[in-house]
């Protein structure tokens, strides 16, 4: 586990202390009242387009763990909110997020994922360096004079931190990614994905991206929708801890699971001085990184983290969930097989239960016959999330930086 700064550690201790208090007293905190929201939030095409433009194309998105483009020349491509993205590591070891559009006539310069020393456009063969600059124009004499310096692939703002890589899908953005992540980002870096291994990646389809993501922000449905997988005894209660637009959900009960080292169980440390609590004992629960990512820890075959990214699909009623399962260190084949079983199980739960359910909800809401949906006092993480979506849709470009600084103080 890496060292994190004092503020982030203080926050982890504060949350852990509160979890222990609630765990001991059997209590949890709830919102003062039920909140309602128009069902059109999930069905309206205009709203969906605004979310693509004003949310997904303006807010930092977690694209990958550093280990996914470990070596120089490793790359991955994405299509997010209509933007083709090429994520790569250049010859100096810097992560680069580039717009995957050839500056000649717009074909993509890279497909899928892999490793290369330069990108060659598959249409007419222009080549680009790993840093995006235009290296060569094919049949240059025939093509005619161009100023190569102005024909590089467009660069997107990017930040690599704590083994994770964020980018903003707007080349003009001046948003401070670090300010957006705030202390949450610092604490999150204690997962330390640097040097980890991607052992499984699943791509699942579902309904509206917020319907799919809402299911990550409450535990209320666990003993019901997941009664045959997680079991009907699973606690539906979540404690919520907010940090700017981000949040954590923690069940105030003892986390006991085969294979989990004792030092990762917070309750083992209740009687010890706070400054001796290991960081991993304070990383429990689900971490929700705004606007579309959740992190969950597992210990099957070794320490692992399931990172789920929920992306908007082609229409308001479609989404894509990418489940990436990472393991610490260099797990053996047997350990990986154990983790793979967990990854397969989680795919079954989400694809077979959550996302099936989200499609049923979508069909129902599309009928227009339920005008409003309600979020209970025990589902306040969802309310927090939707309020932040609204706030961001309403903010001008200039207001975004201020919003994250001010929002942190008041959220
Ligand atoms: S579009 Fe890329 S070389 Fe022509
Ligand atoms: Fe679920």
**β-sheet bridge partners, residue 202:** 323
Position 222 scores a pLDDT of: 97
Place of tokens 């799919």: 212
Position 253 scores a pLDDT of: 75
Give the number of the ligand closest to the Cα of residue 127: 1
Position 329 scores a pLDDT of: 85
Among 189-193, 220-224, 353-357, 374-378, the range scoring the smallest mean pLDDT is: 189-193
Position 103 scores a pLDDT of: 98
Candidate of 104, 111, 134, 146 to mutate for ligand 1, largest count of ligand atoms within 8 Å of Cβ: 104
Mean pLDDT, residues 5-24: 93
| The pLDDT of residue 150 is above 80 | yes
In the reported structure, the alpha carbon of residue 340 is separated from the centroid of ligand 2 by a whole-number distance in angstroms of 19
| The pLDDT of residue 411 is above 50 | no
Candidate of 108, 122, 123 to mutate for ligand 1, largest count of ligand atoms within 8 Å of Cβ: 123
* C-alpha distances in Å from residue 228, one per residue of 114, 133, 284, 289: 39, 53, 24, 28
Candidate of 102, 127, 139, 146 to mutate for ligand 1, largest count of ligand atoms within 8 Å of Cβ: 102
Q: Which atom of ligand 1 is nearest to the CA of 106?
A: 1
pLDDT bin (cut points 50, 70, 90) of residue 246 is very high
Position 267 scores a pLDDT of: 86
Give the number of the ligand closest to the Cα of residue 296: 2
Q: What is the CA radius of gyration of the chain?
A: 22
Cβ within 8 Å of residue 363, ≥6 positions away:
none
Mean pLDDT, residues 9-24: 94
Give the number of the ligand closest to the Cα of residue 102: 1
| The pLDDT of residue 410 is above 60 | no
Protein residue with its CA nearest to atom 3 in ligand 1: 124
| The pLDDT of residue 407 is above 60 | no
| The pLDDT of residue 256 is above 80 | no
Place of tokens 């227009």: 368
Pocket lined around ligand 1, Cβ cut-off 6 Å: 102, 104-107, 121, 123-126
Residue 71 near residue 65 (C-beta atoms within 8 A): no
Q: Which atom of ligand 1 is nearest to the CA of 125?
A: 3
In the reported structure, the alpha carbon of residue 223 is separated from the centroid of ligand 2 by a whole-number distance in angstroms of 9
Q: Tell me the C-alpha distance between 17 and 113, whole Å.
A: 43
Residue 350 near residue 358 (C-beta atoms within 8 A): no
As to burial, measured by CB atoms within 10 angstroms (0-12 exposed, 13-18 middle, 19+ buried), residue 24 is exposed
Candidate of 105, 109, 153 to mutate for ligand 1, largest count of ligand atoms within 8 Å of Cβ: 105
How crowded is residue 233: how many other Cβ atoms within 10 Å of its Cβ? 8
Cβ within 8 Å of residue 172, ≥6 positions away:
none
Q: Which domains does the chain have, with CATH numbers?
A: 6-58+195-410 (3.90.380.10), 61-161 (2.102.10.10)
Q: Which atom of ligand 1 is nearest to the CA of 126?
A: 3
Mean pLDDT, residues 122-133: 98
Position 303 scores a pLDDT of: 87
| The pLDDT of residue 408 is above 70 | no
Residue 180 near residue 404 (C-beta atoms within 8 A): yes
Position 1 scores a pLDDT of: 62
% pLDDT > 70, the chain: 97
Position 194 scores a pLDDT of: 78
Position 88 scores a pLDDT of: 98
pLDDT bin (cut points 50, 70, 90) of residue 404 is confident
Q: pLDDT (tens digit, 9 = 90+) per residue, 95-120?
A: 999 999 999 999 999 999 999 999 99
Q: pLDDT (tens digit, 9 = 90+) per residue, 39-87?
A: 999 999 999 999 999 999 999 999 999 999 999 999 999 999 999 999 9
| The pLDDT of residue 255 is above 70 | no
Position 409 scores a pLDDT of: 40
Q: Tell me the C-alpha distance between 270 and 278, whole Å.
A: 12
Place of tokens 């100023």: 147
Protein residue with its CA nearest to atom 1 in ligand 1: 105
pLDDT bin (cut points 50, 70, 90) of residue 302 is confident
């Amino acid at each position: 586990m890496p060292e994190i700064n004092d503020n982030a550690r203080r926050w982890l201790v504060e949350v852990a202390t509160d979890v222990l208090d609630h765990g001991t007293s059997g209590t949890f905190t709830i919102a003062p009242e039920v909140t309602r929201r128009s069902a059109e939030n999930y069905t309206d095409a205009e709203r969906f387009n605004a979310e693509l433009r004003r949310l997904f194309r303006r807010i930092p998105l977690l694209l990958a763990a550093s280990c996914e483009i470990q070596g120089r020349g490793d790359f991955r491509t994405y299509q997010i909110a209509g933007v083709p993205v090429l994520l790569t590591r250049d010859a100096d070891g810097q992560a680069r997020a580039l717009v995957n559009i050839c500056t000649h006539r717009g074909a993509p310069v890279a497909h899928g994922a892999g490793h290369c020393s330069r990108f060659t456009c598959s249409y007419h063969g222009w080549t680009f360096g790993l840093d995006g600059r235009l290296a060569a124009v094919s049949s240059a004499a025939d093509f005619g004079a161009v100023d190569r310096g102005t024909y590089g692939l467009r660069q997107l703002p990017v930040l690599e931190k704590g083994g994770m890589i964020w980018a903003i899908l707007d080349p003009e953005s001046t948003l401070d990614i670090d300010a957006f992540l705030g202390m949450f980002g610092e604490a999150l870096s204690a997962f330390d994905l640097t040097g980890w291994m991607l052992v499984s990646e699943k791509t699942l389809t579902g309904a509206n991206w917020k319907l799919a993501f809402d299911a990550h922000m409450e535990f209320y449905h666990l003993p019901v929708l997941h009664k045959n997988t997680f079991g009907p005894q699973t606690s539906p209660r979540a404690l919520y801890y907010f940090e700017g637009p981000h949040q954590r959900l923690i069940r105030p009960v003892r986390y006991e699971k085969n294979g989990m080292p004792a030092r990762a169980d917070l309750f083992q440390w209740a009687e010890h001085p706070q400054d001796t609590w290991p960081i991993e004992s304070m990383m429990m629960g689900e971490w929700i990184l705004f606007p579309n990512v959740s992190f969950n820890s597992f210990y099957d075959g070794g320490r692992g983290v399931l990172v789920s990214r929920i992306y908007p699909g082609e229409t308001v009623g479609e989404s894509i969930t990418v489940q990436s399962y990472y393991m610490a260190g260099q797990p053996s084949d047997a350990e990986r097989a154990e983790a793979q079983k967990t990854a397969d199980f989680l795919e079954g739960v989400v694809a077979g239960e959550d996302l099936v359910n989200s499609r049923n909800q979508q069909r129902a809401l599309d009928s227009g016959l339920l005008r409003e949906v309600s979020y209970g006092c025990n589902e306040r993480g969802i309310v927090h999330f939707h309020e932040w979506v609204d706030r961001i849709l309403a903010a001008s470009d200039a207001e975004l930086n201020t919003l994250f600084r001010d929002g942190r103080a008041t959220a």
